[in-house]
């Protein structure tokens, strides 16, 4: 246990916070304003790096999806959550993408509905996220898979998946994505007239850890939560300013 605590204290972000505190100690009397800014930055980084704060930021995003709907649908839509450009085998999906693909697979095992995988090509990488997810799902035995490879963000996925659904006459789908990403995804899809039933996975608000010790995992979760909160505000503002055009 002591070794684990020392790891949290000296490795980033804990070690960086210690250095910032040392820097503040030596500058606090010489330069008041820079010292206050350094102390404030240190405190903010510390707060964002501890589990209670990251959990508080994530919880309102994930809480509505703790209980899953049993309503019927006509297809399963799985949104991409990142992939690696190079890897040693076919598991080139990020942690979030892999969890989403597995959740979609288990839903397919239960329903045998057609699966739509969505995710384009970022920074010229090849193959696309959608192709990587398709390769993974086909190895698991999923039969009918449709790829959407143009979109590079959630809003684009709602637009491009909507085209696929209209072409096939499908109106209601299961939407599979990470729990923290679901609110923004549901808003984007429903704003485009798609009846999306949320099927969430990759829950992070229940993350365990030493409550007052900073960790990169908690900092990453805080970043993700702030990104989703700000993205949701942007989507709602865009929908308000551009009525009828979606987020």
Predicted confidence (pLDDT) per residue in 19-59, tens digit: 777 766 666 666 676 777 777 788 888 898 999 999 999 99
**All domains in the chain, ordered by first residue:** 9-61+207-230 (no CATH), 68-204 (3.40.50.620)
Q: Which DSSP string do the residues of 21-40 spell out, in sequence order?
A: HHHHHHHTTT-HHHHHHHHH
Amino acid 10: pLDDT:
47
The DSSP bridge pattern shows strands 75-79 and 145-148 to be unpaired
Amino acid 15: pLDDT:
61
**155-183: per-residue pLDDT in tens?**
999 999 999 999 999 999 999 999 999 99
Q: How confident is the model at residue 100 (pLDDT cuts 50, 70, 90)?
A: very high
Q: Distance (Å, rounded) from C-alpha 193 to C-alpha 142?
A: 27
Q: What are phi and psi for residue 145, nearest 5 degrees?
A: -125, 130
Amino acid 242: pLDDT:
80
End-to-end CA distance of the chain: 48
Structure tokens at 83: 């992939």
Whole-prediction pTM? 0.86
**112-127: per-residue pLDDT in tens?**
999 999 998 766 557 8
DSSP classification of residue 20: H
**55-96: per-residue pLDDT in tens?**
999 999 999 999 988 899 999 999 999 888 777 566 789 999
Amino acid 230: pLDDT:
93
- Helix runs in 83-215, H state only: 95-111, 129-140, 154-168, 179-191
* Helices and strands (H and E) in the chain: how many: 9, 5
């Amino acid at each position: 246990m002591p070794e684990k605590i020392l790891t949290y204290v000296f490795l980033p972000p804990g070690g960086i916070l210690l250095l910032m505190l040392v820097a503040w100690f030596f500058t606090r009397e010489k330069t008041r304003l820079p010292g206050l800014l350094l102390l404030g930055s240190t405190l903010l980084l510390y707060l964002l790096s501890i589990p209670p704060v990251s959990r508080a930021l994530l919880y309102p995003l994930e809480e509505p999806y703790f209980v899953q709907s049993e309503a019927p649908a006509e297809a399963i839509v799985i949104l991409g959550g990142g992939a690696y450009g190079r890897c040693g085998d076919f598991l080139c999906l990020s942690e979030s993408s892999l969890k989403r693909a597995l959740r979609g697979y288990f839903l397919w095992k239960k329903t045998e509905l057609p699966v739509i995988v969505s995710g384009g090509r970022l920074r010229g990488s090849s193959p696309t996220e959608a192709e990587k997810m398709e390769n993974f799902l086909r190895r698991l035995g999923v039969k009918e898979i449709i790829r959407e490879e143009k979109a590079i963000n959630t809003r684009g996925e709602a637009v491009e998946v909507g085209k696929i659904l209209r072409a096939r006459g499908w109106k209601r789908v299961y939407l599979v994505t990470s729990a923290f990403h679901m609110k923004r995804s549901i808003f984007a899809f429903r704003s485009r007239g798609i009846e999306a039933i949320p099927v969430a996975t990759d829950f992070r608000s229940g993350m365990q850890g030493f409550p007052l010790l900073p960790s990169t995992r908690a900092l990453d979760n805080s970043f993700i939560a702030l990104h989703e909160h700000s993205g949701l505000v942007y989507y709602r503002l865009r929908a308000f300013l551009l009525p009828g055009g979606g987020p």
